Chain A
Amino acid sequence: MKKIKEIVVLSGKGGTGKTSVAASFALIAGKDAIIADCDVDAANMHLVLKPNFAHSQVYCGGDVAVLNQDSCTLCGKCKEVCRFGAVDFSNGRYTIKDLDCEGCGYCSHVCPSGAITMVERKSGDLFISHIKNGSQMVHAKLSPGAENSGKLVAQVKTNAGRIAGEVGCEYVIADGAPGIGCPVASSLSGASLAVMVTEPTKSALHDLKRVLTVAKRFNVRPLCIINKYNINSDQTAVIKEFIEKEGITHLADIPFDSSFVKAMGQAKSIIEVDSKMKALLEETWGKVKEIAQTV
């Protein structure tokens, strides 16, 4: 069997069009790709691809300390060692502040009476769905304010890879998170290619440079799409010069026009409302596939 190719879509800056590009690739690839929404703390792919939430499982990202008042001897060691200010002492008793607990378990190790136990904390849900193009999608919802979204991203990707293997499809298309933090690192880990979607703004170029260093650290080859290239042609030229100098393959320039606004308003992919855009993105996905065969 051929090795499954994982294509992750990233940008550094938010709002440059990652989801638009990833959803277009997903619809074009059809049954050739399993979709993984790795932007788990602001997931949007489901709005376009209309998954059926066929299968769901609880995601536990870590532990939380639970203190049994009956066994507590009020020695205060737990409060002493906690670096996160999660142990509170008031009205003559110690309590754990759930929201501040990091789940490290240090308190449970120093408690002389075994009053503190670590229990798994639910921090989200993971879904495996059928989507409107006949393929499948793995997506998730992180609980509000939860930690360890990188671990959830890893689970989304593992499931997507497993399904791709089971149904014999060659690609996993992963929509990534903005920034350079743990969910981004997790989505790059083990990926075949990173499609960087940028836009001609000074902010986007600054952010692109930073996420490129992360891709380099994970040894993932970056490719680049300049979205909304027509909003500032001078800045587009600056970006082109930069990516050429870096030896990054430039895949496509996508124009910004009213069809984008229309597609967004209807929660549709851009290729569903504009035939020229469809042709452009089909050609782009073709290039991605070709390059994926070489890595």
Chain B
Amino acid sequence: MNSSKSCIKLAIASGKGGTGKTLLSTNLAALIAESQNVLLVDLDVEEPNDSIFFQGKLKAVLPQHKMIPEWDSEKCTLCGLCAKVCNFGAVVDLGTSISITPPLCHNCYACSELCPVDALPMVESHMGDINLFDNGKLTLLEGRLNTNEEHSVPLIEKVHKEVEKNYSHIKYQIFDSPPGTSCPVVAATSKCHYVILVTEPTPFGLNDLVMAVEMLKVYDKPMGVIINRDGAGNEKIEEFCEKEGVDMLGKIPYDMEIARAYSRGELLLGNGSYKAIISNIFNAIEKLHL
């Protein structure tokens, strides 16, 4: 792994949505912030929710851009090469003009740089923002994708870069990741040292956990599991984790009061017994000696 590691990057992920990633990320970060600086990074850029749980001040909005080609009709000789080289259908030769569909563009620069007359310069296109919230010892960086964008990976990568550039001095860094098992999750988790998968003890939770574990194994990521809503079912999550050699890091009980606190946008740490649950999880993470 990272030999010159000054920080511990923990990704909080899950296959299935709504299992408690945000619940765990926000509470874990708030718990750590009671004793030391902590960075919470919301990488669920399609639907970022972490900021709902903190009253911290919005200190900065950093606009994020991606590069997309822009057609220069005066320079263009309509040779059609750009459309031929675009493998994503983003550049189409209409005969008398060139049409560009930005959501389909993968920002590979092929059309732009292979154009013999420089008629497709790459220009900045605003895709979203990184919002910086200051909350005492807790710093929250939130990636927020514009709702007319369909690809979250470029923004997720920009957020990672921002963290590397300006926040590597903070020891504990928690990355609240998007649901699913496709490219956004890979982009979110690949730079982290360890992935915590939050699941629930139902056939649905187990099904999606199996897929998430399969995905992370492709990338050789060390990982552990938290069972949320423990007691609401009897799926054999623990058996699966043992079989796969995945660490069991703790459980959050099935409790309507936890659900209600979450629904109001509140943290759990005001209640002693809930705080103990989060503390136990943090202790289990510390014992991993990452």
A residues near B (Cβ < 8 Å) are 12-16, 19, 40-42, 44, 47, 62-63, 81, 83-84, 99, 102-106, 109-110, 118, 142, 144-150, 177-183, 185, 199-203, 206-207, 210-211, 213-214, 217, 231-232, 234-235, 261, 264-267
Contacts and interface: CB of A to CB of B under 8 A. Distances in A.
30 contacts: A12-B47, A14-B16, A14-B179, A15-B16, A40-B182, A42-B15, A47-B204, A105-B87, A105-B110, A106-B109, A109-B85, A109-B114, A144-B211, A145-B186, A146-B183, A148-B183, A150-B150, A179-B180, A181-B152, A182-B150, A185-B103, A185-B150, A202-B49, A203-B52, A210-B147, A234-B264, A261-B232, A265-B234, A265-B235, A266-B203
A147 B182 contact: yes
Contacts, number: 184
B204 A19 contact: yes
Contact of A83 (B44, B108, B211, B219): B108
Given A44-B208, A235-B264, A265-B233, A145 B182 contact: yes
A217 B148 contact: yes
B26 to A, nearest CB: 10
A232 B214 contact: no
A44 B103 CA distance: 28
B204 A207 contact: no
B17 A13 contact: yes
B178 A142 contact: no
Contacts of B152: 179, 181
A181 B46 contact: yes
B64 interface: no
Nearest to B215: A144
Contact of B87 (A40, A63, A177, A234): A63
Given A42-B15, A42-B180, A99-B219, 9 more contacts: A19-B204, A83-B108, A99-B218, A102-B108, A106-B108, A145-B185, A206-B47, A231-B256, A267-B202
A181 B179 contact: no
Nearest to A18: B17
Nearest to A180: B46
A40 B151 CA distance: 16
Interface in B129-147: 145, 147
Given A83-B107, A83-B109, A231-B260, A106 B215 contact: no
B136 to A, nearest CB: 22
B173 interface: no
B240 interface: no
Contacts of A13: 17-18, 47, 49
B181 A144 contact: yes
Given A41-B181, A261-B232, A180 B108 contact: no
A145 B183 contact: yes
B109 A44 contact: no
Nearest to A261: B232
A47 B147 contact: no
In order of increasing CB-CB distance, the 4 nearest A-B pairs are: A15-B18, A14-B17, A144-B215, A104-B108
Most A C-beta atoms less than 10 A away, residue of B17, B107, B110: B17
A145 B181 contact: yes
Contacts of B78: none
A50 to B, nearest CB: 12
A106 B85 contact: yes
Nearest to B183: A147
B103 to A, nearest CB: 7
Given A62-B87, A145-B218, A201 B183 contact: no
A41 B85 contact: no
Contacts of A103: 87
Interface string B218-233: 1100000000000011
Interface string B234-270: 1100000000000000000010100110111100000
B17 A265 contact: no
